[in-house]
Amino acid sequence: MRATWAFIGCAAAVALVLLLVTSNVRATSNSLWLYEQLFERNEVPRRSGITILELRGVGATIQDYFNSDIEPLVVTASINGAPVSLFGDDEAAHMADVKRLFAKTYRVQAFSALILAIAISAALYVHRGQAATMVRSWFSRGAIIAAGAIAIIGIASVMAFEQVFLLFHYIGFPQGNFTFSTQTDYLVRIFPYGFWADITVVIGAMTLAEAAVIWVAVRVARYFWK
């Protein structure tokens, strides 16, 4: 029985980590304000020839696409006063793969929340008086794992972001349709490496901050929930 609860505790800690990361991925991928800030920070209007107002519309269209069943992705923007269809067939196919990857991420988010809820409910039902101590331990462990994982990924990204980014694409898109040219393809002009490096930093910072809050909250909770 002790081994069973040890396994449940590990599962709950990992579920907490996954819930934090996937929730932050979902929040950033649906933040039009963040898109605008990163477009400006990475000089996307200059790189692409698309005004920031038009880029806001592009970002909104892409976000709507990720949250719908519409296929294929069609995005138009005004460039030099003329409407232009931004993405070719290869780019649209890649974005369809990105949408599927987001869908998997959201399923992991929901599954992690379910595992965490079941573990906490089981602890409350079976252990009652000891449940508070167990749950605090799980959350503390999860916060430490999250901080450690983000630190490792952060160090790797600082040292070699392009290599880490490429590895992620090889894993996430094994079909290999993720190579585009900044000379001919708007997808990589609108979303350059810098955009993804910045959004990775934002997700990592959010996760670290949440892990710190959880870790502190666990210690404060010792005095109120025993």
- What pLDDT sits at residue 226? 56
- What pLDDT sits at residue 43? 97
List of the chain residues with pLDDT < 50: none
pLDDT tens for 12-23 read 999 999 999 999
Cβ neighbours for 130, distance < 8 A, ≥ 6 positions apart: 123
- What pLDDT sits at residue 80? 82
Owner of token pair 């519409």: 70
Report the distance separating Cα 57 and Cα 148, nearest Å.
37
Integer CA distances (angstroms), 119 to 1, 10, 54, 60, 113, in order: 14, 10, 47, 38, 10
DSSP letter at 68 equals S
For residue 79, give the H/E element and its range. strand 76-79
Torsion of CA 154, 189, 30, 104, to 10 degrees: -70
| pTM across the whole model | 0.93
Provide the pairing of β-strand 76-79 with 82-85.
antiparallel
- What pLDDT sits at residue 67? 95
